[in-house]
Structure 1
Amino acid sequence: MKPFDSYHWRGMQLTDASLESARQELAESSEIDTTLQSFTQLLHSEDSAAIGIALDHYHYAVSQQRYGIPNPYSDYTLEVLERARELLKQPPTHSTFTGPDIEGSNHSSALLIMMNHAKPEDSGLILRVLENSANSDVASGALAAAGRILDAECAPDDALIHALAGIALDESKDPDERLDAVRALARSSASQALSIMERIADLETLDLQVTAVHALGFHAMDRYRPLVEQRSASWPDDLPYPAFDVQRLLREHDSKGNA
């Protein structure tokens, strides 16, 4: 298997020779001490690409945990999060005609971290990135990070919810971006988010409608049961998740009512 180098910096050589050497050792070495030394050298550098490569490796290590492989960088999670925030405060990187495609790569690498670790206090930072996304990859990462923030049990940021609603309801936007925005909103039980979900549930675009209806049933079935029943009754039988899960939510609501 080809060693993992990065998600967003492939084909780009770091200008600092020592950092480039650390990057190669991080990708190729099987020695944990060497790996940790290379990782921290990149993470603690002042080179945005080097930091981005370290963040990519952190996310890759997290993804390997599903196979029972421990994350060797778990002790650095707080530092990784701070470095991700620093990258998001920078302007997005730009590609050249002759170089590798690194458009917005600093933000893309940072958002790999933020989508799992963003806090409510990061709302303004994520909103700024969302409003100035360099490409669809950055937009998708920012929307995932926004969903992470809205999943927290605290008062949501009104500006962030308004921005997500704007994307979800804008028919000129890319369909995948609209769906990502609805999925982010679906993680919130706040009244502002649920009111927007009511509007989305009236849309004819089926994947948006289904996601919104599921969110309304999940967060507030007592209030929205008539709407959930009405919308779900019109859906084809073979729709994937979350459509089939709506019937489970209805059955659970029935069980609670009969208890």
Structure 2
Amino acid sequence: MNDEELERALAELRNPTGTDAFLRAFSTLLHSDNTAAVGMALDDYQHAEALTRFGGRNPLESFANEVLIVARDLLRRPPAPGDEDTKPGADHASALNVMTNLAEAEAEDADLIADAIEGATDVNVRSAGFRAAAAALTAGSGPNPRLLAVISAMVFDETLDVAERREALSAVDMIDTPEVDDLLVRASESSELDLQIGAALQLSMPIRLRTHRERVERLAASWPTDMGGYASIVREQLAGFHSIYWTGVEPDDPKLRKAHWELMFPTSDETCLQAFLTLLRSDDMVAVGVALDHYGHWEGLRRVLDDETSAERYLPEVLDRAREVLRQPPSPPELSPNRGAGANHLSALNMIGARHAEPSDADLVLDVLEQAATDAVRHEAVSMAYGVLDEAEVKDQRVADALSDLLFDPSIRFNLAKEKAIRVLADALGPEADGLLLRLVRGDDAKAQAHAAWYLVRSGRLDKYRDLLVEVAESWGDCPPAHPHGHEVIERLLGKLHS
């Protein structure tokens, strides 16, 4: 394959003229005899794969098996020497990068990655190797012993910069085996503070903290009190997740306080779930609120369980309890000084939210909106109203009217609850919400105007109401309200008119 062919293929990849030509160009580079061209193809594949995190698909995904075969072949060879354009081992770095997505559970891939790490003379190659190792170590039923041994050797290789050693340590982050625990314990005894903190961070993860709390507490106590970064995360892990709406307070009953501690720092999944149910089924408003917070929040119950799915069977009971709480009066402010009145309703509303709300919850939502103790309660009630309306084939007009009343209540400033109410009505009612949105656009609250105008523009009704929307947008001058909606309305309306 001559240089001219490669140049044409590379030009096609950079500026595609069509799908077929693009795919042929990629194949040409991938299967060429030019190592640099092959590396470019692997880099392009990895870049396209990385972009799938933001949605869409990899246009080169049909080449996955070929890419993996080519990457393996490169890793079987000695790393390419560097030149004026590339660093030594750049071909290995490219191959290892695609391995982070394509490495399989077979020992072959783990051994190839281990060989590449051991033979690397460049920091970038080792870095790519550590990322590939993290993928390979978790790909099978258990970590490959040789690859794990190579990673361990890198962690304790004092000829490497401590940042590299710490990066090697991160490769075992998702592996829960006695061997990895031993590795982390050894690293936590390092005289290199950064490595010590990196090991402590991994030991402070909920499942490991069950065994290593005393060690992590001792380490954290030895660090400077003003040290931030990962050290502060370790201290947060040691403090545990208390709750969302009840921080600073505990149940009165010592048994419930003990259950709360076990929920935060369980000794086993069984004792953790039992502690959770003890709180949930109690008559103590704080205890019930803490239980709802732990079930609903990502840092709560599921995060501290070894088998997070074991909590799923309690969802119906949790939702029933949350609905019971919403039938109760708002809790007094002194019960949760940091949140004020209605903390019980906040816990229950946050648990149900839009995700678990049902049309039959309409009466509950109406009652909570009517007696909402704070703006925060109102905002969470509007979120639940979203689910009530969204799940219903026939929209409950009472809920829509309650949200409309909230929007036009002059005693309540324009806040997150009102902002959410505009979104709920616009999304749930569609064109039926136009009258309400137009009323807001014609009003004198610039923030409400911006949000209402944006939903009219976004829903495709720009042309229908263009004159009014342009007039309002121009009235804002150079300071559009409610970022980003006001700015987006200006761009869609005045940007087009002035172009």
Asked if the contact 1:213/1:228 (under 8 Å) is kept, the reply is yes
Asked if the contact 1:52/1:105 (under 8 Å) is kept, the reply is yes
What aligned pairs does 1:27-176 form with structure 2 within 5 A after superposition? 27-29=14-16, 31-68=18-55, 70-96=57-83, 99-120=84-105, 121=107, 122-152=109-139, 154-176=141-163
Question: Identity across aligned pairs (percent)?
Answer: 32
Separation in 2 of the partners of 1:59 and 1:139?
17
1:23 aligns with one of 10, 14, 24: 10
**CA apart distance, 1:41:** 1.9
For residues 222-241 of structure 1, the C-alpha deviation after alignment (integer angstroms, 9 at most, x for no partner) is: 21121122222333445224
**CA apart distance, 1:60:** 1.4
**CA apart distance, 1:247:** 2.3
Instruction: Please tell me the residue identity of whatever aligns with 1:244.
Output: I
RMSD over aligned CA atoms reads 2.4
Structure 1 residue runs of 5 or longer lacking an equivalent are: 1-13
Asked if the contact 1:61/1:71 (under 8 Å) is kept, the reply is yes
Separation in 2 of the partners of 1:134 and 1:153?
28
Separation in 1 of the partners of 2:238 and 2:71?
37
Instruction: Please tell me the residue identity of whatever aligns with 2:263.
Output: S
Asked if the contact 2:68/2:102 (under 8 Å) is kept, the reply is yes
**CA apart distance, 1:37:** 1.7
What aligned pairs does 1:206-225 form with structure 2 within 5 A after superposition? 206-218=193-205, 219-225=207-213
Match of 1:251 in 2: 240
Separation in 2 of the partners of 1:79 and 1:242?
43
Separation in 1 of the partners of 2:211 and 2:235?
15
Instruction: Please tell me the residue identity of whatever aligns with 1:217.
Output: S
Asked if the contact 2:35/2:91 (under 8 Å) is kept, the reply is yes
The higher radius of gyration belongs to 2
Q: 1:77 and 1:68, CA in 2 relative to 1: closer, same or farther beyond 3 A?
A: same
Q: 1:234 and 1:52, CA in 2 relative to 1: closer, same or farther beyond 3 A?
A: same
For residues 163-198 of structure 1, the C-alpha deviation after alignment (integer angstroms, 9 at most, x for no partner) is: 222221222212222111111133321211110110
**CA apart distance, 1:16:** 3.1
Q: 1:65 and 1:191, CA in 2 relative to 1: closer, same or farther beyond 3 A?
A: same
Separation in 1 of the partners of 2:87 and 2:157?
28
Deviates more, 1:50-59 or 1:237-246: 237-246
Separation in 2 of the partners of 1:66 and 1:30?
25
Asked if the contact 2:103/2:135 (under 8 Å) is kept, the reply is yes
Separation in 1 of the partners of 2:91 and 2:215?
43
**CA apart distance, 1:245:** 5.3
Which structure 1 residue ranges, 4+ long, deviate > 6 Å from structure 2? none
Separation in 1 of the partners of 2:29 and 2:47?
15
1:183 aligns with 2:191: no
Q: 1:57 and 1:92, CA in 2 relative to 1: closer, same or farther beyond 3 A?
A: same
Q: 1:237 and 1:255, CA in 2 relative to 1: closer, same or farther beyond 3 A?
A: farther
Asked if the contact 1:168/1:182 (under 8 Å) is kept, the reply is yes
What SS does the corresponding residue of 1:185 show, helix, strand or coil? coil
Match of 1:8 in 2: none
Separation in 2 of the partners of 1:153 and 1:242?
32
Asked if the contact 1:211/1:243 (under 8 Å) is kept, the reply is no
Instruction: Please tell me the residue identity of whatever aligns with 1:43.
Output: L
For residues 31-66 of structure 1, the C-alpha deviation after alignment (integer angstroms, 9 at most, x for no partner) is: 333221211222233432222111110111123334
What SS does the corresponding residue of 2:32 show, helix, strand or coil? coil
Structure 2 residue runs of 5 or longer lacking an equivalent are: 242-260, 267-274, 277-499
Separation in 1 of the partners of 2:238 and 2:59?
39
Separation in 2 of the partners of 1:100 and 1:28?
22
For residues 207-257 of structure 1, the C-alpha deviation after alignment (integer angstroms, 9 at most, x for no partner) is: 211221222232422211211222223334452247415523652584253
TM-score by length of 1: 0.83
Asked if the contact 1:214/1:243 (under 8 Å) is kept, the reply is no
TM-score by length of 2: 0.45
Asked if the contact 1:187/1:215 (under 8 Å) is kept, the reply is no
What SS does the corresponding residue of 2:121 show, helix, strand or coil? coil
For residues 116-138 of structure 1, the C-alpha deviation after alignment (integer angstroms, 9 at most, x for no partner) is: 32234211111111111031111
Deviates more, 1:148-157 or 1:71-80: 148-157
